[in-house]
Structure 1
């Protein structure tokens, strides 16, 4: 996005810091010592897309058109509008690539199965009263 590319370094760093914080919250961990090249590529891509997303969120002009997924085109006096409707609602940003990366970073619950489950006391001590 051209508007983001011309931001001063200080302003761009603020957006990068916000994007990094967002990723850390989503993943519930930090990636400071990450060495997996595929994950590093995803993190870089998510950071760039999040910076653009945050910039759009901060600027009202054109926000609705960019974020709505509506595409409008005119040919002569004829115009039409298409909504990018995939049937999928991610609930995150609405950007397919970014949402896919962010969802892949969300921790998945571990399936513990029945190996270590405890259902409660296995023996209940009963007192007998003799009369």
Structure 2
């Protein structure tokens, strides 16, 4: 997802994120949702490395907070990056907050439209 899409969903402008997640940047929120969408086995290493070209600390910060970690193949080599159980909970919470913010924005727009028609 691009930051524009996240902003449209309300993820980047919502204000109800718990204080313990204040450290997360917009890119980290976006990447968490990408990992959530990727499922149990997350993203392949090459996909993550592509993200790390623009955000070198992204994987390290999510790992340090226990939200995601590298998984290994049968030879013990890092092969994918996926959310931990805690990361799945946090990403799910971000998604719920965004949906609520998005619904609130739609209600506000409808109210503004109704007011314009009434005043109109």
TM-score greater than 0.5 by the shorter chain: no
More helix by share: 2
TM-score w.r.t. length of structure 1 = 0.28
Structure 2-normalised TM-score?
A: 0.29
